[in-house]
Amino acid sequence: MIEINKLTKKFGQFIALDSISVKITEGESVCLLGENGAGKSTLIKCILGMLDYSGEIYVNNEEIKVDTKKHKFNIGYIPQEPVFYDMTIKDIISFFGILRNASKEKIKESIEITGLQEHENKLTSELSGGLKQRLSFAIALISDPSILILDEPTSNLDASARLDLINLVKRLKETGKTVLFSSHRLDEVDFLADRVYVLKRGKVVYEGLKENLINKLGLKTKIILSVDKSITDSALNTLRSNGFEIFSQNGYGLSVQINNNEKLQALRKILDSDIKFNDLSIETPSMEEIISSL
């Protein structure tokens, strides 16, 4: 679906992308993972024809430089921070529908898929961040593109809007869309990605299945329990007897380490135990830990 060969992008003497090669098959969801400044957005802008570059980018076995307009029509793009004129949702989608030569039925369908029916008459200045991103999705879907490209679409959203958005991406992937998205959040990789490319300073430092990334690095996930001080010792003993590795004990907090693919089993053990905890949180390996390990 998308094939990138030895893509290099320079800004003056600065090398933003250094001979990157990426391959994405039809119906696959691939994540570009990396810290800010790793080159994720630059790579996406090259695919969209927004930046000049050296190397090759193919979409559906055709070099995009041959007919950039044709390939843009087959790609739905959702930016990190969408910006719109202050018009109603209905007017904005209709405007983009004209640009994309979309039928009224397709415009209506894109509004329904993104759940914007009840907000059609709202001005963009009245929209939350989550609704603006849904509007971006609606516009991207107007031409029924086979490829969706998302540039850190959840980075500025609250937890609820984030969940809505990644569920929408998941549903679209299940309809057969090919998805390329950038992120620096491991939970989004877990939920959405089939494969991962990790970028660091413009280079690919890892490529493979998402399941192999954390396990290959040997990084652990932490489960942190808040308990009353009076039961700290008994809680520690219970955790140890259930096979947990104690990572730290600090004040009223207890932290255990588990393998990343054992979160569900570990939570069940804790919930089935007699530990009376006040709060529980899960801390996955940070992007800094992943990049450092790689």
The secondary structure of the chain in percent helix, strand, coil, rounded to multiples of 5, reads 40, 30, 30
Determine how β-strand 2-11 pairs with β-strand 54-59: antiparallel
The token duo for 86 is: 């202050």
Q: What is the DSSP letter of 80?
A: S
Looking at residue 62, its pLDDT comes to 87
What the chain holds in terms of domains, given with CATH numbers, is 2-215 (3.40.50.300), 218-293 (3.30.70.860)
Ranges of residues in the chain with a pLDDT under 70 are: 211, 214-215, 250-252, 287
Looking at residue 252, its pLDDT comes to 66
For every residue of 49-79, DSSP letters joined together read: TSS--EEEEEETTEETTT-HHHHHHTEEEE-
